[in-house]
Structure 1
Amino acid sequence: MLGQRSSPTSPSRTGRSSGARAYAAIASIPPIFATRTAAALHGLPLLADDEKTHVISTADRPGSGYEVVRHRGQLDEDDLTEIGGLRCTSLSRTVADLARTDSRERAVSAADAALRKVAFRAPETYDDDAADGFTDMALAHISPTSVGRAKARWVLTFANGRAQLPGESISRIRLRELGFAPPSLQVPVAGPRGCTYWVDFGLDDADAWGEFDGTSKYRDQTMTGGRSTSEVVEREKRREDWIRGVTKRALVRWGWGDITDAASLGRRLAAFGVRPR
């Protein structure tokens, strides 16, 4: 469904936030946290932890150290915010900086999550105007002379807050690399007795459904509702059978091991006869 789901990256976010607070306590000049550390403070997902604290400073400050990475950059007052007493780059500036400097997978995952924060409206609705406004703000941080500006613009225009988890964000990248048309995201399917089932991906050009299967839906108590793993699996099977039967479409599941590269996901989909037209 379109509501918030837990992320396997939460421990990394917590660790980075603690590291930022520890560094702020000993720094002679109050730091301004940026990129991955700012992302952690904003609650954005982190796919990898370099165990460093990232700050932004002017060009006359000393360089990076073993545990602290200094990014050069200029800041306007609108580029700053404060979270829990710590100063960091704003959400839009943070996403723009990640889009320029980090990997495409990490940047898209963060941008998708940021759009969810500003555009998701319960119950299960998405504010396209709010999302477009945030994207415009993030794009405004990319100057014509910015290093990585082409990649940043790609990331920010590709981002979509309907993707709920980093695995779904990376799956969208892989589907594009494979030549699929942009999939529909979080598609409602009318279920039995008035309920609604939500499917991660509508692969409309292949007349199929796709679902990213992380482990949290089977193990995370906030998602299982106190049910055992076997009960969750049984519910998922009934749900999947209903969706296939009602829509007459194939439904393919994949996990982290299938999205390491496009070829891996392509093989998984092709095994079920799902290919881009």
Structure 2
Amino acid sequence: MFVCLSTAELTAAGWSSHQIDNALACCLRRVRSGRYLVKRQCQTPIHEHIALIAGSDRTHLPVETAGMRKRDEDLRILVRSYVGDLPPGATLSHRSALIVHGLPIPYFDRDESIVAEVVHPTHGVRRNTLLMRRRDYGSAEVCEIDGARATTLLRTLADIARDYPLAFAVAVIDAAIHTSLVTLPLVREYCEAHPVRTRQRRVDRVLGLADGRRESIAESICAVRFVEFSIPGFEPQVTIRDENGNFVARTDFANRRAKTVAEFDGAGKYHLPGRDPRRELELERQREYKLRNLGYSVFRLRWQDLFSADVFLRIRARVASTAGTTG
């Protein structure tokens, strides 16, 4: 895990404020006031204490430099910096709790500030690095994992469904179900037993769209886009066979009636360990030819397509154009 040290911890290790400032140009990074990330293992003799921590097998060092992965890493570091340093009565929640439970953060909005999230029974406030929501919670809705006090998984999923956009929330719950952390009936049972005063319809809609058959964040977001763009008939993980019953493909999404397939091109899809990228590309090309020979239209989506209308409008037009001929 990432290691964040407090000023008090560094002082107890014999460090002066001058040494801390010096290390900021070397092996430490200021995460927020009074909290420092161990960012690398250096060879400076007076930084031996940090070098020992950085060299531990238990220590994760930051590696990302740009983009959404960097923002994801920064949030994980920020959340770790609050472990043991939460305001009295506060509990990590929402995205911060997702991190504690080992679930992915589906995406970050453009120009969105990175903040740790907590719930507190009597106070709500927003600071530069912390968003505190005023929410009641019982002792049974709190757990501790690796020293981090967070809302339980079921409470976290309910909070995400209530407070985050539809695609984000569905992707989170799909991931929790697909990885067998929970079941959809269990999430529904929890939400029914803990109705909220506001946004209950939003929670109900998220639960109505969740489906653990989806195998990635991208597939979950894509499924929500089908609903938002009023594109009917698509099912996840559909096996396509030819007229002789021979296997042709297992698709991310297919509408058999409209003979339309939607596939997501994930980063690194053709660069998995032990696979030849050229061979994988050729197999993919042959697979697509077979689908087209069976009369299927194949739409390939990239990550950025999930956040624009173009491809989904074309898919909708394709499905609409087949409605009269297949009915």
TM-score, normalised via structure 1 length: 0.77
Residues 119 and 161 in structure 1, CA contact (< 8 A), matched pair in contact too: no
**Unpaired runs of at least 5, structure 2:** 1-66
Give 1 or 2: higher helix fraction.
1
Residues 159 and 235 of structure 1: CA distance in aligned 2, closer, same or farther (over 3 Å): same
Tell me whether 1:269 sits opposite 2:320 in the alignment: no
CA distance in structure 2 between the aligned counterparts of 1:10 and 1:236, rounded to whole angstroms: 27
Residues 209 and 252 in structure 1, CA contact (< 8 A), matched pair in contact too: yes
Residue of structure 1 equivalent to 2:259: 207
Residues 13 and 90 of structure 1: CA distance in aligned 2, closer, same or farther (over 3 Å): farther
Residue of structure 1 equivalent to 2:189: 136
**Structure 2 SS opposite 1:214:** coil
Residues 156 and 232 of structure 1: CA distance in aligned 2, closer, same or farther (over 3 Å): same
CA distance in structure 1 between the aligned counterparts of 2:73 and 2:191, rounded to whole angstroms: 25
CA apart distance, 1:117: 2.4
Structure 1 vs Structure 2: percent identity of aligned residues? 26
CA apart distance, 1:50: 3.4
CA apart distance, 1:270: 6.0
Residue of structure 1 equivalent to 2:214: 163
CA distance in structure 1 between the aligned counterparts of 2:149 and 2:248, rounded to whole angstroms: 42
**Structure 1 SS opposite 2:262:** strand
Residue of structure 2 equivalent to 1:88: 150
Q: Deviations over 1:221-267 (max 9, x none)?
A: xxx2333432321121122233444x542222122232224x32234
Q: Deviations over 1:64-86 (max 9, x none)?
A: 32111111111123322222221
Letter in 2 for 1:170: I
**Unpaired runs of at least 5, structure 1:** 1-7, 121-129
Tell me whether 1:98 sits opposite 2:146 in the alignment: no
Residue of structure 2 equivalent to 1:5: none
Residues 84 and 148 in structure 2, CA contact (< 8 A), matched pair in contact too: no
Residues 118 and 78 of structure 1: CA distance in aligned 2, closer, same or farther (over 3 Å): farther
Residues 95 and 138 in structure 1, CA contact (< 8 A), matched pair in contact too: no
Letter in 2 for 1:55: V
Name the Cα RMSD after superposition.
Answer: 3.0
User: Which has the higher Rg, Structure 1 or Structure 2?
Assistant: 2
Letter in 1 for 2:274: G
Residues 160 and 96 of structure 1: CA distance in aligned 2, closer, same or farther (over 3 Å): same
CA distance in structure 2 between the aligned counterparts of 1:268 and 1:168, rounded to whole angstroms: 18
Tell me whether 1:73 sits opposite 2:135 in the alignment: yes
* 14-23 or 84-93, which deviates more: 14-23
Residues 260 and 296 in structure 2, CA contact (< 8 A), matched pair in contact too: yes
**Structure 2 SS opposite 1:26:** coil
Letter in 2 for 1:200: D
Residue of structure 1 equivalent to 2:299: 252
Residue of structure 2 equivalent to 1:227: 275
* 85-94 or 27-36, which deviates more: 27-36
**Structure 1 SS opposite 2:237:** strand
Q: Deviations over 1:126-163 (max 9, x none)?
A: xxxx33233332443332x1x22211211121111112
Which structure ranks higher in relative contact order (CA pairs < 8 Å, sequence separation ≥ 6)? 1
Letter in 2 for 1:58: P
Q: Deviations over 1:175-232 (max 9, x none)?
A: 112322242111234599x87842111223422221122223134xxxx233343232
Letter in 1 for 2:85: I
Residues 135 and 157 in structure 1, CA contact (< 8 A), matched pair in contact too: no
Aligned residues: 250
Residue of structure 1 equivalent to 2:113: 50
Residues 80 and 231 of structure 1: CA distance in aligned 2, closer, same or farther (over 3 Å): same
Q: Deviations over 1:5-28 (max 9, x none)?
A: xxx976655543332221123346
Residues 231 and 319 in structure 2, CA contact (< 8 A), matched pair in contact too: no
CA apart distance, 1:101: 1.0
Residue of structure 2 equivalent to 1:38: 97
Residues 10 and 45 in structure 1, CA contact (< 8 A), matched pair in contact too: no
CA distance in structure 1 between the aligned counterparts of 2:251 and 2:195, rounded to whole angstroms: 34
Residues 50 and 161 of structure 1: CA distance in aligned 2, closer, same or farther (over 3 Å): farther
